[in-house]
Amino acid sequence: MLVVFCAAVSSWAAEPAALKSTLEDQTSVEVTVYNSNLGLVKEVRKMQVPAGRGELRFMDVASAIQPVTVRVRSVNQPEAFSVLEQNYEYDLMSPAKLLDKFVGKKIKLIEWKEFQDRKDTVEATLLSNNNGEIYQVGNEIYLGHPGIRVLPEIPENLIAKPTLMWLYDNQGRPEQELEVSYLTGNINWNADYVLVLNKEDNGLDLSGWVTVDNQSGAAYKNAKLKLIAGTIHRAESPQLRNRYAEEYEMTAKVASANGFQEQGFFEYHIYDLQRPTTIKESQTKQIELLQASGAKAQKEMLVYGVQKWFARRYEEQIPEQPVKVYVKFKNSQENQLGMPLPAGVVRVYKKDSQDKLQLIGEDRIKHTPKDEEVKLEIGEAFDVVAERKQTDYREITSGVHESEWEVTLRNHKTEPVTVSLIEPLYGNWLVISNSHPFEKVDAFTIRFNVNVPKDGEVKVTYRVRVGL
């Protein structure tokens, strides 16, 4: 028995300590950020890994890592290295957790005696750390203590930062170059745009910025950054929840050769930064996406009707309707644009009489491919007024209604304007009479484009039948 015991002790003593890998081993890192609070981290580390089986602590990973997504491979010896088991250690040390580990044990309490200018050190047994600390000092019980707590050591099962623990098998040389990739939450990006409208409201300059918000719990130094725009579908699984987080020859010219290059990828778009960048932990970083100038634009004033109005009698006055102002432009190469625009907020500015830029409105756009139209709601016209009233109504049958309308447009500006009336009809509709020409926008919408002179008024009348 003594021989067996000694052999076991010898075996335990000979067991190698766990290897540790930190950011000092890192040779490259690539971060792909999705605009759905998700990131893909891929890093390469060079290290010495003894042959055979052992334990490797892979440290300095994102605290919002999704452990089930970790993938490890050897770049230089792919057939020789494998990971047999993986544990994810996320029980991070804190004052409360450290004290929990020493319940029933002796620690030191150091109290500073200010008036005596000395420190008193006492040895105490921590009896409880549940809703307050309870100590035994000698034969007395203390409910709390003013002294500084001094612990003799850090417990082995508490760690300072999240760590991947691997049981590896290395059948090759010790020199290993390991590529590790994983998904992490709490990292996101979004796009913001600044649009400057010209004096005539028919041209614009557009600049775009991306904002990367890194709350993933890790820093990425000199990283190759890629952004993916698009909506990816993800399977919902409790295993993927974060357990510890509080839950100018491009079409649109990039800022420089060191800016983003865009390319299609599957059904999405990748924006690849052409230079390395450092993304610090708990940092918001802005990077220029595009610059374009001289694009053509068009301003519109629109008044929208409501479909239900055409199926009832209105004896009361319909409230004054807002005249909404829009700016639209085509995202095409012919229009000095054409880069697929990620979803984001567009803030629209225009110079005043003193040549100072003033904000005139903002709107959110969705992901916009090239050659598609962008339409921004800017606000409501101040000096253009629209009033609507029903001048006649007949219920021909229970499902067929006929009504006559008068829409008055008044322009108090010093120049003429064009106001468009958008009327949403339904059923087998028929315009019986109309004072102004209209166009059929789609199967259930008509549009009147009305020129209103400066300081003038125009009345648009029409009679329409809707229903089955």
CA dist 455 and 453 (Å) reads 6
* CA-wise closest residue to 189 among 376, 344, 368, 65: 344
Judge whether residue 14 has pLDDT over 50: no
Q: Which residues contact 461 (CB under 8 A, 6 or more apart)?
A: 391, 404, 405, 406, 407, 433, 434, 435
Q: How far is Cα 192 from Cα 179, in angstroms, rounded to an integer?
A: 34
- Tokens representing 197? 């409208």
- The per-residue pLDDT of the chain, averaged, comes to 86
pLDDT at 249: 35
Rg of the chain in Å (alpha carbons): 35
Mean pLDDT over 42-61 rounds to 93
Cβ atoms 148, 34 nearer than 8 A: no
Q: Residue 63: pLDDT band by 50, 70, 90 thresholds?
A: confident
Q: Which of 142-146, 269-273, 382-386, 391-395 has the lowest mean pLDDT?
A: 142-146
Which position has the higher pLDDT, 93 or 449? 449
- Asked if pLDDT for residue 5 goes beyond 70, the answer is no
Residue type, 339: M
pLDDT band at 127 (very low <50, low <70, confident <90, very high): confident
- Band of residue 2 on the pLDDT scale cut at 50, 70, 90: very low
Residue 12 has pLDDT above 80, yes or no: no
DSSP one-letter string for 300-369: EEEEE--GGGGGS---SPPPPBP-EEEEEEEESGGGT--SPBPSEEEEEEEE-TTS-EEEEEEEEE--B-
Out of 10-14, 111-115, 116-120, 431-435, pick the least confident. Answer: 10-14
pLDDT at 378: 95
CA distance linking residue 33 with residue 256, whole number of Å = 21
Contact 147, 109 (CB under 8 A): yes
Nearest Cα to Cα of residue 285 among 378, 191, 211, 204: 211
Instruction: Give every CB contact of residue 251 below 8 A, 6+ residues apart in sequence.
Output: 333, 337, 338, 339, 370
Q: Is the pLDDT of residue 21 over 60?
A: yes
In terms of C-beta density within 10 A (0-12 exposed, 13-18 middle, 19 or more buried), how is residue 237 classed?
exposed
Tokens read off for 71:
């993938």
Task: List Cα–Cα distances, 143 to 87, 101, 124, 130, in angstroms.
Answer: 38, 18, 12, 11
Residue 148 has pLDDT above 90, yes or no: no
Residue 450 has pLDDT above 90, yes or no: yes
How far apart, in whole angstroms, are the C-alpha atoms of residue 339 and residue 350? 23
Once rounded to an integer, what is the mean pLDDT over residues 150-170? 79
Cα–Cα distance, 29 to 8 (Å, whole number) = 43
Closest by CA to 47, choosing from 15, 24, 18, 28, is: 24
Burial class of residue 396, CB neighbours in 10 A (0-12, 13-18, 19+): exposed
Give the pLDDT confidence of 219-273 residue by residue, as tens digits: 999 999 999 987 777 776 554 444 433 333 333 444 445 678 878 778 788 889 9
Helix or strand (DSSP H, E) at 11: helix 2-14
What pTM value is reported for the model? 0.73
Residue 325: pLDDT above 90?
A: yes
Is 336 a residue whose pLDDT tops 90? yes
